[in-house]
Amino acid sequence: MELDARLQEGITAHRSGNLEAALAAYKDVLTADPDHADGLHFLGLLHFDAGKADNAIVLIRKSLENNKSNAAAYNNLGNILKLEGKSDEALEAYVRAVEIEPRHQDAWSNITVMLEGSTNNDDLLPILTEIVRLDPDNPNAWHNYGLSLMLAGRRHEAADALERCLEFGADVWSDPVWHARVLCSLGRKDRAIEHLEGVVAADPNNKVALYQLAAVRGDRMDHAPEDYVKDHFDSFSESFDEVLTNLGYRAPELVAAEVAELAATRQNPFQDVVDLGCGTGLCGPLIREHCVKLTGIDLSPGMLRKAAALNVFDFLVEGELVGFLTSDLPTRFDLGVCVDTLCYIGDLQPFMNALAGALQPDGVLIASVEHLDEPSGPDYRVDPTGRYAHTPAYLRRAAETAGMIYETEKPVVLRQELGNEVHGLIFRLRKPGISSR
């Protein structure tokens, strides 16, 4: 039996979804050669597809004992370890992949995602230092080297590394504005603006770059443009949940905990609930038990497709928040949740006015915002990331101007980003009941 040909038959069957035929082929290969590295690797992947992650890890590790230079196997091992919650081991596997194959794109992408939510990279930084020395034309290496330097607190060197990334050109990057955002936060605002102006000149219809340029320049804007938000979230709807997981994203859980606390004071579930800016639906499963009917609304069709796959929403609507809330709604809501959505709106007064009309008497909103802790400064401010932060005093004033009662606020940490905590508020407001008017 020709082992390579039989292995290829198994791989072809595996890719077509015929797991039984794939298993038979892999077994034939390993019966003839129990130490066949590729046979062990692909049998491990088959076990993972069958829901046996522990077996998969054992088999792929054994494969790597027999072929220590298989970068793809290290990357696949990292993917499985990451899904099993073994982040440190996963990162180690990805790093081994790029040490073996410095231009392994998938492994670099995985390292990037993990670094953006990391707080410690002591072991990784020396490796990246050596990779950029040996392969100075490797854009992925420079990108992650810059991230690693930031996490180490070496801001000036990090900025130098990220400026080096810009020299490769905007076309190299899936997100051509990311480096500009970060350079601005590292004190290189002029270079960030220069880069963004170049991106806009080359692509005048790039909505993300246009908005990002305005944010970095500090232009006065009351909200992120609708088409920017739609394009931005559509572009990474498939990877959205994974990215947020690696950032230690807590906003859905924090809002859901407030919903559960409020639900415990009631005899019945909330009749009509709306998730305003539902995204991929992360909050939906966490509050579903407290809802009779749950509606989600979002601008991004890509996000809504992911939300629909959860099968927890009764209705999903593509649209803009204020337009939806002021439309001819078939019902009024007794609960609204709004998770990490108001950070794309500066002037909240139109939203608050619309919300007041869409809530029924005694209806409640529980929402998250990023915290602008400058009492003597502006009511809200857009930062170089393109997100707005708001002061608590402004939240209260906007709610009360719309005729609602601002009940509570709670300081929280929403997520980790580039080694730093992002501080926010979970706040609750209520529309007055009929008896309280």
Instruction: Kindly give the residue spans of alpha helices, DSSP state H, lying in 187-249.
Output: 189-202, 207-217, 226-235, 240-246
Q: Are 52 and 25 in contact (CB under 8 A)?
A: no
List the domain range (segments joined by +) for residue 147: 3-219
21 domain residue, yes or no: yes
Q: How many CB atoms lie within 10 A of CB 89?
A: 16
Write the pLDDT tens digit of every residue in 84-106. Answer: 888 888 888 988 898 888 888 88
Q: How many CB atoms lie within 10 A of CB 2?
A: 9
- Cα 267 to the center of its chain, rounded Å: 36
Residues 181 and 251 in one domain: no
Residues 273 and 416 in one domain: yes
First to last CA, the chain: 85
What is the CB-side half-sphere exposure of residue 24 using CA atoms within 13 A?
A: 6
What is the CB-side half-sphere exposure of residue 63 using CA atoms within 13 A?
A: 26
| Last residue of one domain, picked from the residues 184, 219, 254 | 219
Helix axes 207-217, 178-185, angle to 10 degrees: 10
Q: Assess whether pLDDT exceeds 90 at residue 140.
A: no
pLDDT of 300 reads 86
Write the pLDDT tens digit of every residue in 387-436. Answer: 889 999 999 999 999 999 999 999 998 887 766 788 899 999 999 986 55
Whole-number Å distance between alpha carbons of 24 and 15: 14
Q: Are 113 and 246 in contact (CB under 8 A)?
A: yes
pLDDT of 308 reads 93
Whole-number Å distance between alpha carbons of 126 and 105: 20
Q: Assess whether pLDDT exceeds 90 at residue 357.
A: yes
pLDDT of 246 reads 45
Q: Pick from 207, 158, 152: which is nearest to 183 by CA?
A: 158
Q: Pick from 341, 181, 322, 362: which is nearest to 255 by CA?
A: 341
Q: What is the CATH number of the domain that holds 371?
A: 3.40.50.150
Q: Pick from 15, 13, 16: which is nearest to 28 by CA?
A: 13
Q: Is 314 helix (H, G, I), strand (E, B) or coil?
A: coil
Residues 157 and 95 in one domain: yes
Residues 208 and 351 in one domain: no
The Cα angle at residue 401 between residues 397 and 406, in degrees rounded to 5: 55
Q: How many CB atoms lie within 10 A of CB 328?
A: 4
Query: 317 pLDDT band (50/70/90 cuts)?
Result: very high
397: left (phi over 0), alpha (psi -120 to 50) or beta: alpha
Mean pLDDT of 160-166: 92
Structurally, how many domains does the chain consist of?
A: 2
Q: Assess whether pLDDT exceeds 70 at residue 208.
A: yes
Query: 225 pLDDT band (50/70/90 cuts)?
Result: low
Residues 339 and 386 in one domain: yes
Share above pLDDT 90 across residues of the chain, in percent, rounded to a whole number: 44
Helix axes 53-66, 37-49, angle to 10 degrees: 170
Nearest 10 degrees: Cα torsion 400, 405, 408, 411: -20
218: left (phi over 0), alpha (psi -120 to 50) or beta: left
Residues 332 and 376 in one domain: yes
pLDDT of 420 reads 72
| Last residue of one domain, picked from the residues 163, 190, 219 | 219
431 domain residue, yes or no: yes
Residues 290 and 360 in one domain: yes
How long is the chain?
A: 437
Question: At 81, which helix (H) or strand (E)?
Answer: helix 71-83
Q: What is the CATH number of the domain that holds 121?
A: 1.25.40.10
Whole-number Å distance between alpha carbons of 255 and 390: 17
Q: Assess whether pLDDT exceeds 90 at residue 117.
A: no
Residues 391-414 as b/e (b if ≥16 CB within 10 A, e otherwise) read: bbebbbbbbeebebbbeebeebeb
Whole-number Å distance between alpha carbons of 271 and 288: 11
227 domain residue, yes or no: no
pLDDT of 239 reads 43
Residues 332 and 185 in one domain: no
How do 291-298 and 270-276 pair as beta strands?
parallel
pLDDT of 240 reads 38
Indicate the range of 34-38, 97-101, 149-153, 235-239 predicted with least confidence. 235-239
Q: Is 251 helix (H, G, I), strand (E, B) or coil?
A: helix
Residues 257 and 359 in one domain: yes
Query: 235 pLDDT band (50/70/90 cuts)?
Result: low
Share above pLDDT 70 across residues of the chain, in percent, rounded to a whole number: 91
CA distances from 135 to 110, 113, 277 (A): 19, 21, 43
106 domain residue, yes or no: yes
Two structure tokens written together for 261: 């606390």
Write the pLDDT tens digit of every residue in 31-62. Answer: 888 999 999 999 999 999 888 999 999 999 99
How do 333-338 and 270-276 pair as beta strands?
parallel
- On average, the pLDDT of the chain sits at 86
Residues 177 and 140 in one domain: yes
234 domain residue, yes or no: no
Mean pLDDT of 365-379: 89
Q: Assess whether pLDDT exceeds 60 at residue 242.
A: no
99 domain residue, yes or no: yes
* Amino acid at site 146: G
Write the pLDDT tens digit of every residue in 274-295. Answer: 999 998 898 999 999 999 999 9
CA distances from 272 to 305, 355, 358, 360 (A): 22, 14, 11, 10
Residues 16 and 95 in one domain: yes
Whole-number Å distance between alpha carbons of 258 and 337: 10
Two structure tokens written together for 24: 């038979």
pLDDT of 64 reads 94
96 domain residue, yes or no: yes
Query: 238 pLDDT band (50/70/90 cuts)?
Result: very low
Mean pLDDT of 197-220: 85
pLDDT of 103 reads 82
Residues 344 and 293 in one domain: yes
How do 359-371 and 420-430 pair as beta strands?
antiparallel
| pTM value surpassing 0.85 | no
